[in-house]
């Protein structure tokens, strides 16, 4: 199994699950170089750059558990929905 990914792909996947795309981005702390930097997202150690990406409705951020990395998000504004535990079980 190949765990080499980049933030652009992982953030896009999380955005898709909330009906958003990169066109919905209001701001991001990542440069294009950081977004496209390939890293091992599997267990071991955090290799992806830290980030925050904002859209009109969500805030996206990195999650790490035992070195495995992925993207999570929460509502940007209060919406009455509870946030699930982040970072694994």
pLDDT tens-place string over residues 19-37: 999 999 999 999 999 999 9
41-50, 51-60, 77-86 — most confident range: 51-60
**Confidence (pLDDT) at 80:** 94
Residue 39 predicted with pLDDT over 80: yes
- Whole-model pTM: value is 0.91
Which tens digit of pLDDT belongs to each residue from 59-86? Answer: 999 999 888 999 999 999 999 999 988 8
CA distance 83 to 74: 7
> Does 82 fall in a domain?
no
- Please count the structural domains in the chain: 1
**Domain containing 27: what range?**
4-75
Give the whole-angstrom CA distance, residue 45 versus residue 67: 4
- DSSP E strands, 13-80: 25-28, 39-40, 53-55, 58-65, 68-75
Residue 83, domain member (yes or no): no
| Domain presence at residue 86 | no
Tell whether 84 is covered by a domain.
no
User: Does residue 61 sit within a domain?
Assistant: yes
20 inside domain: yes
């Amino acid at each position: 199994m190949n765990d080499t990914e980049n933030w652009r792909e992982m953030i896009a996947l999380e955005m898709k699950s909330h009906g958003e795309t990169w066109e919905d981005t209001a701001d991001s702390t990542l440069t294009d170089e950081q977004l496209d930097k390939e890293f091992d997202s599997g267990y071991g150690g955090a290799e992806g750059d830290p980030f925050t990406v904002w859209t009109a409705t969500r805030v996206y951020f990195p999650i790490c558990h035992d070195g495995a990395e992925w993207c999570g998000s929460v509502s940007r504004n209060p919406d009455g929905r509870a946030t699930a535990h982040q970072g694994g079980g």
